Amino acid sequence: MSATDRFERVPSLPRSTRDRQSLVLTLLAGSIALTMLTPMLWVVLEASQVPSDQILEILLRQETLDIFLNTVFLVTAVTIGSVLVGVPLAMLTVQTDLPFRRFWTVVAAMPLVIPSYIGAFAFISATGQGGAFTDVLAPIGIERIPEIDGLVGSAITLTLFTYPYVYLTTRASLLSLDGRAIEAARSLNHSRLSAFRRVTLPQLVPGIAAGALLVALYTLSDFGTPALMQYDVFTRMIYVEYDAWRLDYASIFSLLLVGMAIVILAAESRIERTDEGEAYVNRGTDRPGTISLGRWKGPALAFCSTVALLALIVPPAILLYWLGRSTGGIGGSYEFQWIYAWNSVYVSSLAAGVSVLAALPLAYLSARGESRWASLPERSSYVGYAVPGVVLGLGLLYFTLHYVDSLYYTVDILVFAYVVRFMPQAVGTLRSSVLQTDRKLVEAARTLGHSSLSAFRKVVLPLVMPGVIAGAALVFLTSMKEMAATLLLRYPGFETLATYIWLVRSSADYGDAALPALVLIGVSGLSMLVLLWRGYDVQE
């Protein structure tokens, strides 16, 4: 403050000014959170218009029970499969003398790059009659590879492309383990195995469970994979019923699906709460000593290679095979056009921008708010995780059709759908960025004569910028891959990479889908770079 400034004292602010500032922030965050909830409201409204006796009839039908059981089977199978693949990979890459450990560390996380429906598409196009494998293997006498579809096909595909969630969370837990605790256990006369069981494992369980729940949630809401594999789970059937314009069925199924998602989310939030506080304490601790694999080195390498081969080599190879054999499309409106790629980039960029703008107040309030309710808007924005794309699409379709005609079949509503669905990712990265900036820095800026707004602009914003960019990138990349809501909400003639793959899924020439699929793999490969850059510690 200059000398003149010292004489021109600013009049005392009433105490309520500070309250008013936080009230504005709370209202802003609250209204954003409420907006996020609207699509769900419309599904509930639609369902409430179904007569109660019909609801009962739908619920009690054998078909509904079958769909429910199919969904449970698939979620269970994929979750177990992911733990069986993800946990050993994490242990091998963190705690053993596996050859080329750094290489496997990165490779094991890579399948996340491939959208699961593209994997499903690749496997379907390769197996069964007229599949790529049959073509390639025929000369060596293998006539027919059994078709991969249904429960087995969906479960294998989803496991191959979602196990990295378990791998990454388990790995993070392993890395945060305090090696000294294990040494302490051994100095207290526990064998290596007993120390693992009594010290390591209990600390790993939250990490494994967090990853497993992510996998369960992803599987539950995934539309593309079971749809392509023709396995009747809720997501697929909601779309089928909608297609047949049986909205009563579609809305009841939607509510059931959301109910299942909420159960999984509730379990997940309990786990997150227990280990959130410990996420930052792993500084300066000793790493547990590495375990020598000995004669298990061979089998361990074979295991890693098999997973990598199936998830990373085979699907792109199949796509490239079809691309090479492409006859130039089946002509007409189904031919691939680069405008589809541009459409994808366009709507995804808009979604990323809007998401970050909306996420910032939610994240800031949640991380810095003092009231008990401060994190409520942030928590409620997580509804996006609970609402599968197909339900979200249906809700918004109903909403625009009945209430806001002007939004029906527009890019705006599509962008809004992406924001609702994927903004939680931006909130997450932003929140942790805000938490990582020292609260004292803002106070320092205030005592140096800056208003809270100026302190935010000059201190907080530059420091959370990496989080803003990462959040935007994540929303962009996941929006690019989104299929179900895009299918429901796109206006006629507006195709994206994902919807184009859906359109040509059953065409005779798989080559049409190969190019957009490869483009999508390339694009989402960038998401891995973002994750790496954000220090999700895929390197050591």
Partner 1 sequence: MSKNELTTTTGQYVQAPPRTAPTGDVVLELAEITKQFGGETAVEEISIDVHEGELLTLLGPSGCGKTTTLRMIAGLTDPTEGTIRLDGEKVAGSSTAVAPENRDVGLVFQEFALFPHLTVGENIAFGLTDDDGADEYGRVQEMLELVDLEGYEDRNPESLSGGERQRVALARSLAPEPDVLLLDEPFSNLDVRLRIEMRQEVRRILKEAGVTAISVTHDQEEALSISDRVAIMNDGQVEQIGRPEDVFGHPESRFVASFLGQASFLSGTVVEGGVDTALGLLDNDQLDGSIDAYRGAAVDVLVRPDDLRAKPCPPGGTDGEIVHRQYTGPAFVYQVEMDSGDVVHCQHNHATDFEHGTRVCVELQAEHSLAWYPAE
- Return residues touching partner 1 (CB under 8 A): 1-6, 9-10, 12-15, 17-18, 438, 440-441, 443-452, 454-455, 458-459, 462-463
Q: Is 423 helix (H, G, I), strand (E, B) or coil?
A: helix
Closer residue to partner 1, CB minimum distance, 135 or 443 = 443
Listed residue (155, 230, 226, 248) closest to 484, CA to CA? 226
CB-neighbour burial class of residue 141 (10 A; exposed 0-12, middle 13-18, buried 19+): exposed
CB of 451 to partner 1, least distance (A): 5
Q: For the chain, how long is the longest CA-to-CA vector?
A: 95
Q: Name the DSSP class of 374.
A: T
Listed residue (317, 321, 338, 337) closest to 329, CA to CA? 337
CB of 377 to partner 1, least distance (A): 24
Q: Is 387 helix (H, G, I), strand (E, B) or coil?
A: coil
CB of 427 to partner 1, least distance (A): 23
3-state SS string for 321-368 = HHHHHCCCCCCHHHCCCHHHHHHHHHHHHHHHHHHHHHHHHHHHHHHH
CB of 463 to partner 1, least distance (A): 6
Listed residue (148, 279, 261, 156) closest to 206, CA to CA? 279
Closer residue to partner 1, CB minimum distance, 101 or 450 = 450
Closer residue to partner 1, CB minimum distance, 464 or 514 = 464
Number of Cβ atoms within 10 Å of the Cβ of 71: 24
Closer residue to partner 1, CB minimum distance, 260 or 455 = 455
CB of 450 to partner 1, least distance (A): 5
CB of 467 to partner 1, least distance (A): 13
CB of 460 to partner 1, least distance (A): 10
| Rg (alpha carbons) of the chain, rounded to whole number | 25
Report d(CA 393, CA 387) in Å as an integer: 10
